[in-house]
């Protein structure tokens, strides 16, 4: 796509409280050039959409041409408007009740799609209803009685209404969009989807969006689309296929033990261990050295020349383990490594992608393992959500890990002693430069 001009605009997800903020990539085309009618172009402008995103630029012209479309894209790509706009445009041409159905795996996503539909359709007076579980069936039935143009639903609740709400049918439906199909199928909505598809007319247009193309999604595609065209965008949330990513679910108090166990497992390979603070970086490096590993710390309290010196040692393989904070690692040309260990989880998925991108470069294979403790579950779920897939758990024999307990505890004691003198030196350095003592995290931030 040569026409893609990478202009980035910061956007928050609509109404998705837990979602990370995203940057929306835009193309140099206009919505009008894609064939969108003036009223909807105006609605896009009102939404602050200056130009189409790549997935919109690819999917919309095909959809307007009357084709069924499979879009490989995830949240943050602008996929919602990629199926909402063509549906609304067709609705404008032949308005009727129950014209379109948008299916989504979760309530939040359904509301988000409905909000986008209502806002984009505000210039053409579109009426929309949301049918999701956990909300009053009667109120939803009354809303259906008002004959909306578009139904946005999760499959379970839609099926309930199709079976129980008198006078409600989708016999005359013209457009169906299935959003996040992979998640829908992961959430066991397969049976409901089959039942829904049976009561929809075959003569219709269908759009199917999914972050990944699993065999389940492929069979849904065969069951629901006719002669579709496939479009996809490579997302910044995608990782390369040669990367084996997994996680380790462990108690916080055993992090050191599992780290040492993994480093033994990957002995002889080059590794980066990511931590969140200068203190942890230094402590982990001291501990590993006490155990005889060639570990070198890289963090924001080192001068630029010390950082480069550390990197050179790592590059020349005189040390094969780099312990680093994100901030220190940013902007430096860190060589490709075999293993990335997220000893501390990153706070957002962008940083995750940045970190794991240190391995599996240029077609080589690589391993990334993230430590998930009882305190990290929510952050980890958010990262998986942004990646659009569930990662595998790294298999470890607990007994073999526990064998290391004594030696690691001893190394840890030694690291604490070394940390004391490190902190003292740092205090002197702080005074010397007249800045006083700053918190470790502040330092990291400043150095970024």
Residues contributing to the site for ligand AMP (CB under 6 A) = 9, 11, 13-14, 22, 24, 26, 49, 52-53, 56, 75-81
Q: How far is the CB of 47 from ligand AMP (least distance, A)?
A: 6
Q: How far is the CB of 37 from ligand AMP (least distance, A)?
A: 16
Shorter beta-carbon distance to ligand AMP: residue 38 or 400: 38
Shorter beta-carbon distance to ligand AMP: residue 200 or 386: 386
How many CB atoms are located within 10 Å of the residue 329 CB? 21
Q: How far is the CB of 93 from ligand AMP (least distance, A)?
A: 22
Shorter beta-carbon distance to ligand AMP: residue 81 or 177: 81
Shorter beta-carbon distance to ligand AMP: residue 11 or 165: 11
Q: How far is the CB of 31 from ligand AMP (least distance, A)?
A: 8
Please, how many CA atoms are within 13 Å of residue 391, restricted to the half-sphere of its CB? 27
Tell me if 206 sits within 8 A of 382, measured CB to CB.
no
Cα(79)–Cα(75) distance, integer angstroms: 7
Residue 11's region, left for phi above 0, alpha for psi from -120 to 50, else beta, is beta
Q: How far is the CB of 356 from ligand AMP (least distance, A)?
A: 22
Cα(100)–Cα(77) distance, integer angstroms: 22
Q: How far is the CB of 388 from ligand AMP (least distance, A)?
A: 11
Q: How far is the CB of 401 from ligand AMP (least distance, A)?
A: 41
Cα(221)–Cα(206) distance, integer angstroms: 10
Burial 253-291 (b: 16+ CB within 10 A, else e): ebbbbbbbbbbeebeeebbbbbbbbbbbbbbbbbbbbbb
Cα(74)–Cα(85) distance, integer angstroms: 17
| Contacts with 247 (C-beta within 8 Å, 6 or more apart), sequence order | 369, 370, 371, 372, 380, 391, 392, 393, 394
Shorter beta-carbon distance to ligand AMP: residue 40 or 310: 40
Cα(252)–Cα(376) distance, integer angstroms: 9
Which of 186, 195, 237, 242 is closest to 215 using CA atoms? 186
Q: How far is the CB of 126 from ligand AMP (least distance, A)?
A: 16
Please, how many CA atoms are within 13 Å of residue 247, restricted to the half-sphere of its CB? 21
Q: How far is the CB of 19 from ligand AMP (least distance, A)?
A: 9
Helix (H) / strand (E) element for 371: namely strand 366-372
Tell me if 78 sits within 8 A of 238, measured CB to CB.
no
Shorter beta-carbon distance to ligand AMP: residue 109 or 323: 109
Shorter beta-carbon distance to ligand AMP: residue 81 or 150: 81
CA dist 177 → 2, 194, 205 (Å): 28, 14, 8
| Count of residues making up the chain | 448
Tell me if 386 sits within 8 A of 20, measured CB to CB.
yes
Q: How far is the CB of 409 from ligand AMP (least distance, A)?
A: 48
Shorter beta-carbon distance to ligand AMP: residue 48 or 436: 48
Shorter beta-carbon distance to ligand AMP: residue 19 or 260: 19
Q: How far is the CB of 253 from ligand AMP (least distance, A)?
A: 39
Shorter beta-carbon distance to ligand AMP: residue 26 or 87: 26
Three-point CA angle 332, 336, 339, nearest 5°: 115
Cα(343)–Cα(273) distance, integer angstroms: 6
Shorter beta-carbon distance to ligand AMP: residue 85 or 288: 85
Q: Are strands 366-372 and 243-249 parallel, antiparallel or unpaired?
A: parallel
């Amino acid at each position: 796509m040569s026409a893609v001009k990478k202009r980035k605009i910061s956007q928050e997800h609509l109404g998705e409280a837990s979602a990370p903020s995203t940057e929306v990539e835009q193309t140099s085309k206009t919505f009008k050039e894609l064939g969108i009618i003036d009223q909807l172009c105006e609605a896009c402008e009102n939404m602050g959409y200056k130009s189409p995103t790549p997935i919109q630029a690819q999917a919309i012209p095909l959809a307007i041409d009357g084709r069924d479309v499979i879009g490989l894209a995830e949240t943050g790509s602008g996929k919602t408007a990629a199926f909402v706009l063509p549906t609304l445009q067709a609705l404008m041409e032949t308005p009727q009740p129950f014209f379109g159905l948008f299916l989504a795996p979760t309530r939040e996503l359904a509301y988000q799609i409905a909000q986008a539909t209502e806002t984009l359709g505000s210039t053409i007076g579109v009426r929309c209803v949301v049918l999701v579980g956990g909300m009053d069936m009667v109120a939803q039935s009354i809303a259906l009685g008002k004959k909306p143009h578009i139904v946005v639903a999760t499959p379970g609740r839609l099926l309930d209404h199709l079976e129980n709400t008198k006078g409600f049918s989708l016999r005359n439906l013209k457009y169906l969009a299935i959003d996040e199909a992979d998640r829908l199928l992961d959430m066991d909505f397969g049976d409901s989807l089959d039942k829904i598809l049976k009561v929809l007319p075959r003569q219709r247009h269908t759009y199917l969006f999914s972050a990944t193309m699993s065999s389940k999604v492929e069979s849904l595609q065969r069951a629901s689309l006719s002669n579709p065209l496939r479009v996809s965008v490579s997302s910044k949330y995608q990782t390369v296929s040669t990367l084996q990513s997994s996680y380790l679910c462990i108690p916080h108090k055993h992090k050191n033990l599992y780290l040492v166990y993994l480093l033994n497992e990957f002995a002889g390979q080059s590794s980066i261990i990511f931590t969140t603070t200068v203190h942890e970086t230094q402590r982990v490096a001291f501990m590993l050295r006490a155990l005889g590993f060639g570990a070198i710390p890289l963090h924001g309290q080192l001068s630029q020349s010390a950082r480069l010196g550390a990197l050179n040692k790592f590059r020349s393989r005189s040390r094969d383990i780099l312990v680093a904070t994100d901030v220190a690692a940013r902007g430096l040309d860190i060589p490709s490594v075999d293993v990335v260990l997220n000893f501390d989880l990153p706070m957002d998925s962008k940083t995750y992608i940045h970190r794991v991108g240190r391995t599996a470069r240029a077609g080589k294979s690589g391993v990334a393992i993230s430590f998930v403790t009882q305190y990290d579950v929510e952050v980890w779920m958010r990262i998986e959500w942004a990646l659009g897939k569930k990662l595998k758990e790294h298999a470890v024999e607990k007994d073999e890990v526990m064998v290391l307990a004594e030696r690691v505890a001893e190394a840890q004691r030694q690291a604490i002693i070394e940390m004391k003198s490190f902190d003292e030196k740092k205090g002197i350095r702080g005074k010397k430069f007249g800045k006083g003592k700053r918190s470790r995290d502040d330092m990291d931030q400043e150095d970024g």
